[in-house]
Structure formats: C-alpha cells, structure tokens
Amino acid sequence: MSRLTGLRVLIGDAQQAFAESLQRMLKQGGTTLEIYRRYLSMEYHLTKGVQRYFITAAAHEGFVKHKKLRQFLLDFGNEEESHYLVAANDLHKCGLTVTAEPFDVTLWHAYFRSVISNRPLLRLGAASILESISGGVARESARRALSAPFLTRENSKFLVMHMHESAPHGDLFLDALESEAFNEAQVGDLELGARHGTTLYMRMTQWCLFPDEYPECGECHVDVIERREIESLDMAKFAPTVFG
C-alpha cells in the first residue's frame, strides 16, 4: 500500500466537496460573468508569485535525499510562474478588470508563507489539492460549469491550460510525491497541508460561485507595466512543456 493513500483519500474528499458546490451553483443558473470574474481574479492573486513557494520548498535541507523531487518543484514553479498573467488577460478579453485580493486568498498566503521555509510539505500537500480538485467526481460538474455561452477561445485560456487533459497536473504532482520515500512525519505534513488547503480553497470558491452571498472586494490596482504585459500577452510563450 502506498504511503500516500491517506493523501489520495483527502483529495477525493476535496473533489466531492467541490463537486457539491459546483452542482449548487449550476442549479442556481450556472456560470455568470460575475462568477467568472471572481474566479479568474481569485486565481490571479493565488497564482501570482507562486514560484516562490516551490523554489523555497526545493531548497529545504530536508530534501537533500530527494533531488528528483527538487528538480520537479523547480520545473513546476517555472511553468506556473506567469500563469497569473493569463488569468488577467482572459479578464481583459472579457472587458473586465481584476478584483482586489479576496480575503481568503490573503489568509492562504499568510499561512503558507509562514510555514514554507520550515515545513514545505504542508504547502506541497495543499498543492496536491489545488492540482486535483476539479478531477474525479468533480470532473463532470466542472465541465458543465465551463460551458457558459460567453466563453470563447480568446477569453478561456487559463481554463484550458489548467484542465490538463493530456497531462493532468494532479497526477504528475502525486507521481512526483509518491516516488519519494517520505517518513511518517513528512507524510503527516502532506496530509495536514491537504486538509488546510481544502478548507481555504473551498472558502475561496464559495466567494467565487455565490456572489450574492459574499461581498465584492473592490478593484485591484495594476501598475502600468503589468497592465501592458496583460494586454499584450503572447500565448506563444506558453508552449506545452513536460507538464502539458
């Protein structure tokens, strides 16, 4: 039996919770432009600077015997680093702007930045949730949520990149973790990080999916240089890699 069986169970639980939220949203009328704006804004703030987590994790002295995982984390961070610009460009293509950072994203970063240097596997456990939550029992509901009539190839690039049909990031991430001989304490941190990640991410998705129940948080200030990057984004720079 894999040492990460418990982590896989937690991922399944997260997928079930996400599926139930999506089904509730679909029953209430489906994906609206405001839901989409909130979702992409949340992902923008969640993803911006994400490479720091993986680079910091890779540098931890506890990974001295996990060189293959270190390289995976560096590659993963490099791939994910600019995806926040794709989310913002999709909003631009919809004629929308990025909202200010949702409070639950602020909580996410406050917590994981406080533990990443000393207990990196907490953040990797959370990453295993983020990369897998729309799969499993949530896959069909997620597919239905993405069938809104206003979605086009031009304004849904972030979604397409993160569906990972050819090379699911969740599977790749779990494969990388399962290839390592983690001890009991390390597995415990992965599982605890997955639990915390599920709690925080589900709070974020509630804000996205049910805008009538959760207040708007204002507009994000984007400086001139970043605004130019967003509006002139060249998707050729995001060619498929080993991560799909």
Query: In tens digits, what is the pLDDT along the chain, a chain of 244 residues?
Result: 578 999 999 999 999 999 999 999 999 999 999 999 999 999 999 999 999 999 999 999 999 989 999 999 999 999 999 999 999 999 999 999 999 999 999 999 999 999 999 999 999 999 999 999 999 999 999 999 988 999 999 999 998 887 655 557 788 899 999 999 899 999 999 999 999 999 999 999 999 999 999 988 888 888 778 888 888 887 766 655 544 4
Q: What is the pLDDT of residue 244?
A: 43
Q: What is the pLDDT of residue 234?
A: 78
Q: What is the pLDDT of residue 2?
A: 73
State the CB neighbour count (10 A cutoff) for residue 142: 17
Helix, coil or strand: residue 129:
helix
Helix, coil or strand: residue 132:
coil
The model's pTM: 0.92
Q: What is the pLDDT of residue 164?
A: 57
CATH 1.20.910.10 is held by the domain 5-233: yes
The residue type found at 15 is Q
| Domain-wise residue ranges, the chain | 5-233
Cα 54 off chain centre by: 13
How far apart CA 47 and CA 231 sit, in angstroms, is 18
Are 217 and 103 within 8 A, CB to CB?
A: yes
